[in-house]
Amino acid sequence: MAEAVQGRRAAKAIVDRGYRGRRWVEGTEVLTPNRPPNGQSKAQSARMRARFRRRSAIEPVISHLKHQYRLLRCFLKGFSGDQINLMLAASAWNLRKWMRQLASFWLRLLLLLYFPLSPKIA
């Protein structure tokens, strides 16, 4: 699916420590957060650590999508059903974010109207 969106295949895929699959899948390198090899420089280690941290920052979002937006089980048929289910869940997630931002904007606007900022006269 990422290939269809971006138009190219990912060069590297980052997985968690529980992954027990192959290291190369159809030309994509699969990386797991293990100890760096002895010959790896500090800059390369820091770059890899940043990549793994980015993935661990995304995991809570995936968990929320699974539990709050019913992605644990798909009731739609086939691969296209999985895609539809995922797109609907992602749309609901984004709509909810936008609604929170809109509510925050209106609350700030009402507070500014009710408590106007007045310049201090000294």
Res 97: pLDDT: 95
What average pLDDT does the structure give for the chain?
Answer: 85
81 alpha carbon, distance to own chain's centre: 21
Asked if pLDDT for residue 104 goes beyond 70, the answer is yes
Do the bridges between strand 28-31 and strand 12-14 make them parallel or antiparallel, or are there none, so unpaired?
parallel
- C-alpha 112/C-alpha 99 separation (Å) is 20
The pLDDT tens digits of the residues spanning 32-82 come to 887 777 888 888 888 888 888 888 888 888 888 888 888 888 888 999 998
Q: In the predicted model, what is the mean pLDDT of residues 89-114?
A: 94
Q: Where are the beta strands (DSSP E) in 3-122?
A: 12-14, 24-25, 28-31
pLDDT band at 122 (very low <50, low <70, confident <90, very high): low
Which pLDDT score, from 0 to 100, does residue 117 have? 77
Global pTM reads 0.58
Percent of the chain whose pLDDT exceeds 70: 96
Strand order of the β-sheet with 24-25 is 12-14, 28-31, 24-25
The pair of structure tokens assigned to 55 is 């993935």
CA distance 7 to 107: 42
Q: What does the pLDDT read at residue 100?
A: 97
